[in-house]
Structure 1
Amino acid sequence: MGVEDEFLFEDVDDEKTIEYIRNYLPQELKEKFSDDELYYFLDLIDEYYSESGILDAQPDADGYVEIDLDAIVEYIVKEAKKDEMGEFDPEEILFVVQGEMEYTDSLEEED
């Protein structure tokens, strides 16, 4: 797969992730976030995973890696404010993070 194909694949995957998150969100939040904001949040989630070392963490005896959702939410809220994207309610951002995690879990179940 060439670099261009890989980017196209990532774009399609992000689109599917956004669609899944939108469906996951409670009704009152479905229209609250723009697609651009959701893409931004996805980028921050990826950034958090890369910078936190979680990708290098060793799984426990059951094969799971503990992920602190509150830490991810805190990171997104802090970065969004710093990047002047706005101030976001951590409780609302938690739904986005949970939606992304549920989508990732659903992909693993398909394998």
Structure 2
Amino acid sequence: MGLEDDFLKDDLDDEKTIEYIKNYLPQELKEKFSDDEFYYFLDLIDEYYSESGILDVEPDEEGCVEVDLGQIVDYIIKEAHKDEMGDYDPEEILFVVQGELEYTESLDDDE
């Protein structure tokens, strides 16, 4: 698979993730964020996982790694403010982070 194919696959994965998150969100938040914001949030979630070292943590005996969603939310809010994307409500961003996590776990369940 070439580099271009990888990018197309990543874009398709992001589209599916965003669709899942939109369905996960409470009704009052479904139209609150633009697709661009969702892509931005996904990038920040990926960035957090890469930079926090969580990907290097050894799973426990059940194969689980403890993820602090509050830290991910704080990271998104801090970066969004720094990048002048806006100031977001932590409770609203928590739903986005939870939706992304649920989607990822649903993929693991399919394997």
Task: With the length of structure 1 as denominator, give the TM-score of the two structures.
Answer: 0.99
Q: Distance in 2 between matches of 1:89 and 1:9?
A: 31
DSSP 3-state at the match of 1:67: coil
Sequence identity of aligned pairs in percent? Answer: 77
Q: Any unmatched runs of 5+ in structure 1? A: none
Deviations along 1:10-42, one digit per CA (max 9) or x if unpaired, are: 000000000000000000000000000000000
Give the Cα–Cα distance (whole angstroms) in 1 for the partners of residues 63 and 16 of structure 2.
26
Aligned to 2:2: 2
Q: How does 1:18-97 map to 2 (within 5 A)?
A: 18-97=18-97
CA shift at 1:61, angstroms?
Answer: 1.3
Give the number of equivalent residue pairs: 111
Distance 2:42 2:98 in 1: 12
Whole-angstrom distance in 2 between the partners of 1:15 and 1:22:
11
Deviations along 1:44-73, one digit per CA (max 9) or x if unpaired, are: 000000000000000011110000000000
Distance (whole Å) between structure 1 residues aligned to residue 106 and residue 66 of structure 2: 18
Deviation >2 Å, runs of 4+: none
What do you get for the CA RMSD once the two structures are aligned? 0.3
Q: Distance in 1 between matches of 2:10 and 2:63?
A: 26
TM-score by length of 2: 0.99
Letter in 2 for 1:110: D
Query: Unaligned 5+ residue runs, structure 2?
Result: none
